[in-house]
Chain A
Amino acid sequence: MKRMRLLALFAVLALVFAACTTGGDDDPGTTVASDTTQVDPGGEGDNGDGDGASGAILDAVLDRGSVRCGVNDVLPGFGTVDEAGDYAGFDIDFCRAVAAGVLGDPDAVEFVPLTADARFTALQGGEIDVLIRNTTWTATRDGQEGATFLKTIFFDGQGMMVPASTGFTELEDLADATICVLSGTTTELNLTAVFNARGIPFNPSVFADNEQLQPAYESGQCEAWTSDASQLASGKASIEEAGGEEQFIMAEIFSKEPLGPAVPDGDAAWAQAVEWSVMAPIQAWEFGLTAADVGSYDGEDPNVLNFVGADGFDPGLGLSPDMNVTIVEAVGNYQEIFERHIVPIGLQLEGSPNDLWSNGGIMYVPPYR
């Protein structure tokens, strides 16, 4: 009797299975499963800018009336939460720029705080629309993480910080040392690569975020802290302000870390909307426009007139012609954003790679024509 029942069960399963597999090819309506296995015939699914779903995220954002922006909430200068519970920082302002550009309202942002490990999963899963979280643009992340990186908004590089009292000045001084690093970051991989290439033995001590890493570093659990130079400057400022030991950031920068916004693969319309929104403050800086005077430009420069949307100039990005004015009035130009958030943590704009191309830096955006 029992065996009979088991046999019957297998027979039924086999029938169901057969129905599913054949039904999937001929008649997509037969089962639940086959509805979802329809493959986009363009075959663009692999990496990208497929035309099938283009605009889906942009439409969803417009429908929802807010942009969900993945950010860092524990990195002074780039993204923190203040006493009032409001987000503030360099990356935060660029989220607000996207909201201002796409929706016309810089406050229509839903900030989603993410750890380094969770950020791409959140992006892939559609939990966020755009990731602006001091994230380095790399080939693997473009290729395997389902992310499309856009205009770099901060040129950074990896550095090494030690307590000034140790007197260490170069990486070779750190042979055998324990080094604090964030897990799941390009800095973790780069630390390994650089130290191995130079034959310096070391022991990493990994943490999920800076709030755990910093006390460990201060307690001496690791002798050095490696991260993007901007994060080190921010850590140095916060340690020294709190009355901690004086810190020293080594002169050597041993990696390229271009930080910029990333969006999910496959929606070119959304990618363009985000990209032109984050480029607006940089272009405004180049034109010498600030938050205070962008709305009242009365000059004759046709390029600037295009930029501020005078005479109804519309490049056809599907965004409002006055988006640049809305953005710059909300967050200011790039220099204003930088001075508001990055200068206080001890980094200068002049002479850094983030300076304008016309001033000897590498910050350069395509013309708004």
Chain B
Amino acid sequence: MTSQQSDSRVRPPFWRDARVLRVVGQVIAVVVVFLLLRWLFANLVDNSRRTGISLDFGFLNRPTQFQIPNHDEFDPRSPVWQMVLVGVKNTLLASVFGVILAAVVGLVVGIARLSKNWLAAKLAAAYVEFFRNIPPLVIIVFFAFAVFLYGPLPNLRESIEIGFPGTDHNVFVLSLEQWGMPSLADAGNLAAFGLFLAFGLVIAVLVWRWRTRVNDQTGAPHHRVLWALGVLAVLLLVGYVVLGEPFRITWPTLGENRRRLVDGFAINAGFISVAGALGLYTASHVAEIVRGSILAISTGQSEAANALALNGFQRYRFVILPQALRIALPPLINQCLNLVKNTSLAAAVGYSEITNLTQASIGNGRPAVPSIVILMGVYLSFSLIISFMLNVVNRRMQLAT
């Protein structure tokens, strides 16, 4: 009894004081982690010194020495850091196409799964169950082998050329190795035209905001898409005329010995396999997220939209999806990050993204540890930048409470 009374006034000894113990526990955890990291690092330094393996980054300035597939413009004598940039560019390219494909397909499939149309719902369900349950590497390899290597397309020399009616230009060139499509080439002032484009985009955004404000204040129809695109188109046209044809369209053409595509924009089998496979794979996850977020919107919203006589498209566009997107965004960020990281699987089909090039570079005598450190840094910065950008969007879209 007496002890109970004294407890309320006198502090317990520090080894039984929960506040002290909590702090001490944290300090011990930090020290242990720190020592562990230090021990691992010292191990690395020691072992690499013992086996004579270099840990310094000087190799970045030495020549790459090998030719990067499908990059004729790359000089094998250029330093390794330029090779790294090529890899980063290719990783970005595959990621961007993959994310766009995943978003579009995922949205359509996710909505289709909720459709009252039996066939649409079942097809969407089958799509999701099929792609979600196969590892992405298998899908990539399937694409590379079934669609390209053993697929129906001919070699580049006998490639299918789809011409533009009335001219002898090719719009598409399809072959086993590469697909060609039209592209823009600099005709002197492309950079200046880029400035026009940036300027036009800024103006278009301002116009968009102005129309939104008009709509908010007066209730007049905003037509902001038409307005913004119209202003952009007019500005670009003015720019095109003022700069005197800053660019021209180049059509994919086979070189004289029919061994390579000249002009146009060429994408290779590895890129299509990776972007396509990862896009379709991630779409199955996106579809489930979309479905879940739509189901999370109370049926009252849908019924209210019906009561307002909105049609199916309007119901989704103006009532359901804006609310569902708010729920879907955090898991969508994860899928986006996954897709970017999964592009490293492209190494299996010889697409020259950063992992593939790093492997080749290590195989060709560049020190492994610094190379891998750079590789980790690249993926880490990709992921951090993406999650930062999407988190900003997410914060702006959250309900203000």
Contacts and interface: CB of A to CB of B under 8 A. Distances in A.
A complexed with B: yes
A220 B67 CA distance: 20
Contact of A220 (B34, B176, B260): B176
Contacts of B61: none
Contacts of B155: 220-221
Q: Which 4 A-B pairs have the closest CB atoms?
A: A184-B363, A146-B51, A176-B259, A117-B363
A221 B360 contact: no
Interface in B56-73: 65-70, 72
Interface stretch (A40-48, A249-257, A317-325): A40-48
A74 interface: no
A146 B39 CA distance: 22
Contact of B66 (A32, A189, A203): A189
A17 B42 CA distance: 13
B77 to A, nearest CB: 8
Contacts of B348: 208
Interface string A214-234: 011001110100000000000
B353 to A, nearest CB: 13
B188 to A, nearest CB: 27
B149 A221 contact: yes
Q: From A191, A201, A219, name the one whose CB has the most chain B CB atoms within 10 angstroms.
A: A219
B46 interface: yes
B359 A37 contact: no
A207 B356 CA distance: 10
Contact size range, B: 35 or more
B364 A221 contact: no
A176 to B, nearest CB: 4
Interface in B5-41: 23, 26-27, 30-31, 34-35, 38-39
B147 to A, nearest CB: 12
A146 B368 CA distance: 12
A216 B68 CA distance: 18
Interface in B155-169: 155-156
Contacts of A205: 69, 177, 350
A189 B65 contact: yes
B35 A31 contact: yes
A26 to B, nearest CB: 16
Contact of A40 (B50, B66, B257): B50
A235 interface: no
Given A176-B257, A265-B51, A192 B35 contact: no
Interface of A: 5, 8-9, 12-13, 16-17, 20, 31-34, 36-40, 45-48, 50, 53, 116-117, 120-121, 124, 138, 140-141, 143-146, 175-178, 183-185, 188-189, 191-193, 195-196, 201-208, 212, 215-216, 219-221, 223, 264-266
Interface in B252-297: 255, 257, 259-260, 269
A36 B43 contact: yes
Nearest to A219: B149
B70 A203 contact: yes
Contacts of B356: 183, 206
A215 B49 CA distance: 42
Interface in B345-373: 347-348, 350, 356, 359-360, 362-365, 367-368
Q: From A116, A189, A193, name the one whose CB has the most chain B CB atoms within 10 angstroms.
A: A189
A343 to B, nearest CB: 30
A37 B365 contact: no
A146 B42 contact: no
